[in-house]
Structure 1
Amino acid sequence: MNNELNRSQNFFNHENETGESLWKYVQSLSPETISQLSKPDSAEVFQVMERNIIGLLGNLPSEHFGVTVSTSRDHLGKLLASAMMSGYFLRNAEQRLNFEKSLQAINSSTQDEE
């Protein structure tokens, strides 16, 4: 993981001005890192992300319709950014929920001891 951190720091220290820096950064990541970043920890977060992306693309069921999506590179980039932001938001919400549950468990165990 330190190798990935060094690569990230080097990348951003030499960031280019072409507007494709995010894409080049993603391409520079190892397959293991991309896999780790791409998978939510819980099935519930995965389902919410899936519903969000389906909502962005349109929600015709593919088993009943031959759905084809065509778009420009710019619009695809915006879709990707939207999906990533939703994923980060959901991950942060999941972490906060787990943190609050942990605090409640600690509070209830300390109250039981009194």
Structure 2
Amino acid sequence: MQYVHGMSPETIAQLSNPASTEVQQMMEHNIIGLLGGLPSQHFDVEITTNRENLGRLLASAMMSGYFLRGAEQRMAFEDSLMSAESAPEIE
């Protein structure tokens, strides 16, 4: 928790907004998987936990975020390589 408290508001805002909709959807799916997937329109879901378990949930979500950010960067890198390979050569 101290790690999160030590972050600047700008860093938290940047980390909270994924660069692509695909990553945002994957994060939503992952968090729903961690918390349980009951549809909110049919259930009044309330989650209660203690500080230790909340810390574990945060750590898990952060690790997933780091993994997905790395995958997103790799995908962008591969896309740029493919674009460079298909570009006509200038002589």
The two structures have a TM-score, normalised by structure 1, of 0.73
2 CA distance for matches of 1:27 and 1:82? Answer: 17
Matched AA of 1:67: V
Structure 1, unmatched stretches of 5+, are 1-22
Residue in structure 2 matching 1:101, options 74, 79, 91:
79
Matched AA of 1:87: G
2 CA distance for matches of 1:80 and 1:38? Answer: 13
Structure 2, unmatched stretches of 5+, are none
User: Which structure is larger by alpha-carbon Rg, 1 or 2?
Assistant: 1
Q: Which residue of 2 aligns with 1:78?
A: 56
Higher helix share goes to which structure?
A: 1
Q: Which residue of 2 aligns with 1:18?
A: none
The two structures have a TM-score, normalised by structure 2, of 0.90
The one-character-per-residue Cα deviations of 1:53-80 (angstroms, maximum 9, x if unpaired) are: 0010000011110001111211111111
Identity between Structure 1 and Structure 2 (%): 63
CA shift, 1:100, in A, is 0.5
Q: 3-state DSSP class of the match of 1:113?
A: coil
Aligned length: 90
Q: Which residue of 1 aligns with 2:23?
A: 45
CA shift, 1:49, in A, is 0.1
CA shift, 1:30, in A, is 2.2
The alignment yields a C-alpha RMSD, in angstroms, of: 1.4
Q: Which residue of 1 aligns with 2:39?
A: 61
The one-character-per-residue Cα deviations of 1:2-53 (angstroms, maximum 9, x if unpaired) are: xxxxxxxxxxxxxxxxxxxxx2232132212210121110111001100100
CA shift, 1:88, in A, is 0.7
2 CA distance for matches of 1:24 and 1:77? Answer: 10
